[in-house]
Amino acid sequence: MNLHLNIMAKPFTITTAIDYVTAEPHLGHAYEKIATDVMARYMRLMGKPVFFLTGTDEHGTKVATTAAKHNLTPQAYADNIAASYKRTWGELNIIYDRFIRTTEADHTRVVQHIWQLLLDKGDIYKADYTGQYCAGCESFLAERDITEDGLCSIHGTQPDAVSEENYFFKLTAYKERLFELINKGKYVQPEFRVPELLNILENLQDISVSRPVSSVSWGIPVPNDPDQRIYVWIDALSNYITGTGYLNHPEQFATHWPAACHMIGKDILKFHALYWSAILMAAELPLPRMIYAHGFININDAKISKTVGNVVSPQALMRRFELDTPDPVRYYLMTLCPFGQDGNFTEDDFKAKVNADLANNVGNLLNRTLNMTKKYCGGVVPQLDRQQSIQINKTEQQVSLRYEPVSEQDLEPIKAAMAQYQFQRAAESIIHLVDRGNKLVHNAEPWTLHKEGKQADLEKVLYTVLDSLRQVAILLSPFTPELCDRIWQQLGYAPGTLAQQRWGDVLGSAIPGGQALQLAGPILPRLEDELVGAAGKKN
């Protein structure tokens, strides 16, 4: 698989799935948004202009029903939940460029335009339909979606037998083009999901793209047919082109479409890879360059579910461990498992991973190096050329210590992993640079060099580690922007200047000799055991 991104191409547009406003955001929602934010930050680090789109899906029967239970209008209820998503993404330091809501007037205009375009082309027709409808999915189910017991394979509930007159989209007219597109193996990632789509294509059917008002009252009206509402496949999926400016901002749309990546969950891959791709084909609009279907985050080996009662919000997790930054949550979710696979969250694993990588490894290397620099060099970066390798003859052990500076070869695994959306592997490669720094301190023993009066060798070691920490702050910043900014400022840089760094600065710049360090204590205290007990789980 080769997903290396051409960073000299047009601006990098990345989108998330839009979240349905029937529940507050949880770790599963956060997982996708954090991954998208990490990639967006990485591309900015690479010098690319970025457009990051996210938002909420706000129409449908479930929204109207849930709103009624809260004694609210559907719009008022959607306003509240959309605000909750925005607030949560802000608390997780997710920096998007556009938050689209499907109840916006601009979106209604786009959806009705696409509808009329497809209708005029003959790709939408009206017909009677009888089928099994799942209220949880808000979708008619095919035979493959129903278990042997006659239940929805996703929700485990009995679907309703429904007969109604709807409009249909001629999905089957695009079967051959879809097969050619999917079979190439690059459009859908990870590639192991392709056979599932090819299997669906074997028995492809046209899809319902409207519902009668008697079934779905809260939705966008079908043009010239007030008794019908436009269904989710055209309504929700069209958010991607509304959000990038289609019809309403043509110059912006020409700049930011097609998207480089649709980041979605594996459960909605069919709708994006097949339905949405065919709708774009019918509308004669460019397709996204890639659809990436990530796995799920399970909680203690169980799928996140309100019924099971294992829903965990990012804010609750931060409160439980008394975190003053979302970065441990961001880092843990991105390193929990190979991206694309399912991951399993447990509090104990969260604590162990954060303590090992961030508090102990990165944090301790920073603290001990800053303190030694304060003690042995007056708290000022030594004057040295960081391009020099370090070779120290240790008298007592009669050994020669040699350390080579970080090279382009060391950075290649990070770039290769990020090009393949393998966040876990990229983070591991960055942490390996921290390991090298810790190993250098352990082997060189700056305190011994001081006792032996080897000030020049001592300064070589401290300078090299300080500059390595500068490099780590840049490289790790897409994952943990706040913690890296704390590192950056303790290294003596001005607040806010880390965001100005680019990939070329990792090797192309160096920490200035003579720069005064700003010691401010641990960037992240260790997560304590007592916060993981039964009392913590009650919160």
Residue appearing with tokens 């799928």: 303
152 catalytic? Reply is yes
Q: Which of 10, 126, 155, 170 is catalytic?
A: 155
Burial of 134 by CB count in 10 Å (0-12 exposed, 13-18 middle, 19+ buried)? buried
**Of 62, 107, 137, 294, which one is the catalytic site residue?**
137
Among residues 306, 374, 451, 537, the one annotated as catalytic is 306
337 is catalytic: no
Beta bridge partners of 394: 399
* Torsion angle of C-alpha atoms 407, 412, 418, 423, degrees rounded to 10: -70
Give the other-Cβ count within 10 Å of 163's Cβ.
Answer: 9
Which of 152, 261, 377, 484 is flagged as catalytic? 152
Give strand ranges (E) for 203-296: 207-208, 210-212, 221-222, 225-230, 261-265, 291-294
120, 114 Cβ separation under 8 angstroms: no
Q: Can you give the length of the chain in residues?
A: 539
Name the pairing type of β-strands 225-230 and 210-212.
Answer: antiparallel
* Active-site hit among 48, 134, 256, 351: 134
For the chain, how far is it from start to end, CA to CA, in angstroms?
Answer: 43
Is 353 a residue of the active site?
Answer: no
- Rounded Cα–Cα distance for residues 132 and 539 (Å): 40
- % helix / strand / coil in the chain, to the nearest 5? 50, 15, 35
User: Cis omega (within 30 of 0) on the bond before 338?
Assistant: no
Q: Strand 160-169 and strand 399-403: pairing?
A: unpaired
List the catalytic residue out of 113, 126, 303, 394: 303
306 is catalytic: yes
Tell me if residue 450 is catalytic. no
Q: What's the CA gap between 266 and 282, in Å, rounded?
A: 24
Active site residues: 26, 29, 134, 137, 152, 155, 303, 306
